Structure 1
Amino acid sequence: MAQEWSLDEVLIGLHEAEGVGWKTIKRIMAGGGLAEALDRRERDWREFGLNVRQRENLVRRLRPESMEAAWRKRSRAGVFAVTRRDPRYPFLLKQSPDQPPWVLYCIGRPELLTDRPAVAFVGTRLATAYGLRVAEDLAAACAERGLAVVSGMAKGIDGAAHRGAVNRAGGTIAVLASPADAPYPAENRALYRKISETGLIVSEMPLGTQLARGHFVLRNRIIAGLSLGTVVVEAGDSSGALITAKCTIDANRELFVVPGPITSPRSSGALDLLRQGAKAVMRIDDILLEFQHVLPPEILREGSREAPPGRLRKPDPAGANLTPDEARLYDLLLERPLSIDELSARSGLTFGLLHSVLLSLQIKRRIHQQPGSVYTVL
C-alpha cells in the first residue's frame, strides 16, 4: 500500500499531521525518513524527537485511508499541491531564509509560480484614495510589462494591487492566510473568483484549517519570498506590511516605498522605511531599473496589455552568456566560496550593483547563497 503514494503525497501528509512542525519535517527529510514513512509504526518515529501524541497523529495521517481522503478533498475543491520536491516550486521562495513552506496549496494557473518574475505590493487595509489609486495603477503597469503582481488579498492596498493586475499580461498571485479554498475577507469574494480563474491563489494552510492571527505573519513571508522585491504603498507604524518589508530585507530582496504625506499616520511606517534606505517609487521605471540585470528585454521595453509574459532567463552552460559583471563574480566563486564582503573587495563593484548581479546569478541558478551571506557556485 505504501508504494501507491508518491513521496510528494507523503510530504503533504507530514505537513498536515497535527503537531508536526517545520523543523521536525526537516529532520525527517535529512534523516531519509520520507521514503519509508508509510511503513513506520508509532514507536519508529521516536528517533525524530516526537512525543507520543505527535507520533500517533503522524501514523494516523499517513494511513492509506487518510492519504486518500486528503487527496480527494483537494481534488473536489480544485486545489493542487506543490511541495518543496516539485519542480514547480518557486525558485526564489525556496531560497528564502524564513522557513519556506513544505507545501503550497494552489488554485489557478501553476505556471505563474515559475514562468515569470514577480513583484509584491503591500500596504494598509485602511488606505486613502491616493494609496488605492497608486497601488492599482502601479500594479497594472508592472503586470502590463509581464511581471506577476503578488499580494495578500486583504482589503485596502492588497485588493487594489490585485485589481490593477488581474486582467494584465503578467497576472496576479494572491497569497492567503486562510486555506486556498476559503477566501478571506468575505468582501473580496468576487476578486477571489476572478483571480482563481485568471491568476493564482496560494496558501500553505491545509484545507479545513481555522484562520488564526498568526497565519497572517506566515503569509507575509511567502509574499516576500515569491518576489524579486516588495513595494510598500501606505503603511502605519503598526501595519502588517512592515512585517513583509522585514521579510524582504531578510531575504536580501529589493524594498520600495511609494512616498506619502508626512502628516499622514497611514504613511508613517512607510516613510520610516525610506529613512532606513528603501528606494522611493514614483513610476514603474523606478522598479525596473533595479532589476535590469535580471529581467528579460521584453519586460524592460515599454509594453502593452498584450505584452508577452516575461520569463526568467534559462540557465546556460557554466560561464556562457553572462554579462561582464556576472562573469567576473562567477569566476571569483569558481575558486572558492566567498562572503559578500569578500566579493565586494575583490570585484570592485559597488554594493548596489553587487547585490543585483548576485541576485541575477541566483535566478540563473549559477550560484547559491549559504548562511552568513556566503556564496558558492552550483
Structure 2
Amino acid sequence: MMKRRVLIGLHESPGIGWKSIERILETGSWENAAEFTASDWVDCGLTESQAIKMAGPFTETWLEQREELIHRKGIQVITRLDEDYPLLMKETVRPPWVMYLIGHRSLLTSFSIAMVGTRVPTAYGRKVAELLTAELCRHNVTIVSGMARGIDGVCHEAALRCGGATIAVLGTAIDTAYPSEHTALYRQISADGLIVSEYPIGTPAHPGLFPQRNRIIAGLTRGTLVVEADVRSGSLITADSAMEANRDVFAVPGQITSPKSSGTLGLIKQGAKLVTSAEDILEEYGVAMVQDTSMKEISSEGNKLTEQEQHIYHMLEQSTLSFDGLLSRTGWDFGLLHSVLLSLIIKKQVVQLPGSIYKII
C-alpha cells in the first residue's frame, strides 16, 4: 500500500516525468521515499536539481493530503502496481504509471474500439460516426475516444444515446471538462461511462498534453477506427500509437475530393483496413468475442453465455486470473463466482489450471 501511495506521489511531483519514475522504481528501494534526503534521491537516479526539489515537499503529510483530495473529489486511481491495471495498456511502449478514473472502472477490461477523427467533421463524417457507433454498441463494444470537438464528441454522444458503453480519455486534468462546451457530456460519461486521464488534479491545460493522451486511447483498445480526418489531424497520432502498440487500424473511406478524407484515404493506402460497416471490424476478432447486446450474451461454437459469464469471460481475455483475483475484482460472493466459473468450464469457454488459475480456451 505504501509503495502505491509513493508511486502516485512521484507521478504528481513537478519535474518528475515517466523516465524519472522508471529510474526510481528500478532501484528497488523507494518504498520509504517520503523520508529521503536529497542524497537518497540522487542515488535513485535523479539529477541534483531534481533531488533538491524533491527532498523538501515530498513528505508523508503531503502524500496523505493528495490522497485525501483525490478521495474527496470522488476520483479513483489505478497504478501499474494494481492487479486490475489493463493488460492491453501494460503491453504498450510507455504505459502510464498512474491513471485517474471517474465512473465505471470495470469498463477498462471491456472489449473496446477507439473511434477518432477531425474536430470539424462534414455532415458525412458525423452521420458515419453515429451509424458505426450505434452498430458497435449493439454488439457490446465499448467506444473509446478523446471527448474533443467533432468526431470524438459525436461518438461519445451516439454511444450514450443507444445505451452503449463509452470511455473518454482526457488531455486535461481528470477534474476538468475540456472543451467547456462538453461539460454536460463530461457529466453524463462520468455517470454512465468512464472518464480517464493521466493528469492529476490541478494540472494546467497545455496543447502538448493532448498528443500524449492519444497513446492511452490506442493502448486501451483492440483497434483504432479513424472516421474522418485530414492529413494534419491529431487523430492520425492515435492511429500511429495504435500501430506502435501492434493494434489494428481501421479507416472509413471518403470522397477523394474532400480534404477531410485525405488522412483516412492515406491510412487505407498504408494498409489500414477499409471500413464501411461494424462487421468489417468485428470479423477481425471473431464472434466469440462480441455478440448483439439485445441477447445479453456471447456466442461461441453454439454455446451462449449469460451476462455474468460474459463479464468473467472479458476479464479473462485480459489475462489469466486466480479464483481469489476474480473474487476481488467482481465483488461477488464465493458461491456465485464458483457457479459461473463451473458453467464456463462446462461450456468449454474456460479451463481451470493448477492453483485455481483460470484462462479462456
TM-score (norm 2): 0.81
Structure 2: how far apart are the matches of 1:170 and 1:85? 30
Are 1:281 and 2:275 counterparts? Answer: yes
The match for 1:30 is 26
The match for 2:350 is none
CA contact (8 A) 1:179 1:207 kept: yes
Are 1:94 and 2:86 counterparts? Answer: no
Secondary structure at the aligned position of 1:207 is classed as coil
CA contact (8 A) 1:18 1:54 kept: no
The match for 1:117 is 111
Secondary structure at the aligned position of 1:119 is classed as strand
> 1:101 corresponds to which letter in structure 2?
P
Structure 1: how far apart are the matches of 2:360 and 2:22? 23
Residues 51, 172 of structure 1: alpha-carbon distance in 2 compared, 3 angstrom cutoff? same
Secondary structure at the aligned position of 2:23 is classed as helix
Ranges in structure 1 where 5+ consecutive residues have no aligned partner: 322-363, 367-378
Of the three residues 290, 302, 323, the one matched with 2:292 is 302
Residues 170, 57 of structure 1: alpha-carbon distance in 2 compared, 3 angstrom cutoff? farther
- Superposed, 1:20-99 pairs within 5 Å as 20-97=16-93, 99=94
Of the three residues 312, 315, 334, the one matched with 2:314 is 312
Structure 1: how far apart are the matches of 2:100 and 2:315? 26
TM-score (norm 1): 0.78
Q: Let me know the Cα RMSD of the aligned residues.
A: 2.1
CA contact (8 A) 1:136 1:162 kept: no
> 1:192 corresponds to which letter in structure 2?
Y
How far has the Cα of 1:53 moved from its partner? 3.1
How far has the Cα of 1:57 moved from its partner? 3.1
The match for 1:160 is 154
> 2:97 corresponds to which letter in structure 1?
W
Secondary structure at the aligned position of 1:211 is classed as coil
Residues 167, 112 of structure 1: alpha-carbon distance in 2 compared, 3 angstrom cutoff? farther
Residues 282, 209 of structure 1: alpha-carbon distance in 2 compared, 3 angstrom cutoff? same
Of the three residues 209, 224, 236, the one matched with 2:230 is 236
Deviations 1:247-274 (A, max 9, x none): 0111111000011111110110110000
Structure 2: how far apart are the matches of 1:187 and 1:13? 32
Secondary structure at the aligned position of 1:259 is classed as coil
Structure 1: how far apart are the matches of 2:177 and 2:244? 29
Residues 291, 60 of structure 1: alpha-carbon distance in 2 compared, 3 angstrom cutoff? farther
Give structure 1 regions of 4+ aligned residues with deviation exceeding 3 angstroms: 167-170, 305-311
The match for 2:181 is 187
CA contact (8 A) 2:35 2:59 kept: no
CA contact (8 A) 2:140 2:292 kept: no
Structure 2: how far apart are the matches of 1:269 and 1:316? 38
Structure 2: how far apart are the matches of 1:49 and 1:258? 46
The match for 1:11 is 7
Structure 2: how far apart are the matches of 1:216 and 1:22? 16
Residues 283, 48 of structure 1: alpha-carbon distance in 2 compared, 3 angstrom cutoff? same
> 1:67 corresponds to which letter in structure 2?
L
CA contact (8 A) 1:80 1:106 kept: yes
How far has the Cα of 1:163 moved from its partner? 1.0
Secondary structure at the aligned position of 2:202 is classed as coil
Deviations 1:76-117 (A, max 9, x none): 2211111011122111011001x1110001101111112x11
Secondary structure at the aligned position of 2:284 is classed as helix
Deviations 1:167-201 (A, max 9, x none): 55651100000011101001111111000001000
Ranges in structure 2 where 5+ consecutive residues have no aligned partner: 298-306, 322-344, 346-358
Structure 2: how far apart are the matches of 1:18 and 1:78? 23
Secondary structure at the aligned position of 1:231 is classed as strand
CA contact (8 A) 1:296 1:313 kept: no
The match for 1:225 is 219
How far has the Cα of 1:303 moved from its partner? 3.6
**Fraction of identical pairs, as percent:** 45
> 1:85 corresponds to which letter in structure 2?
L
The match for 1:251 is 245
> 2:314 corresponds to which letter in structure 1?
L
Of the three residues 247, 252, 259, the one matched with 1:265 is 259
Structure 2: how far apart are the matches of 1:53 and 1:242? 37
CA contact (8 A) 2:169 2:197 kept: yes
How far has the Cα of 1:365 moved from its partner? 9.4
Structure 2: how far apart are the matches of 1:160 and 1:306? 25
Deviations 1:49-80 (A, max 9, x none): 32333113323443122112211221222111
CA contact (8 A) 2:4 2:79 kept: yes
Deviations 1:126-155 (A, max 9, x none): 001111121122112212221111000001
How far has the Cα of 1:312 moved from its partner? 2.3
Structure 1: how far apart are the matches of 2:54 and 2:193? 34
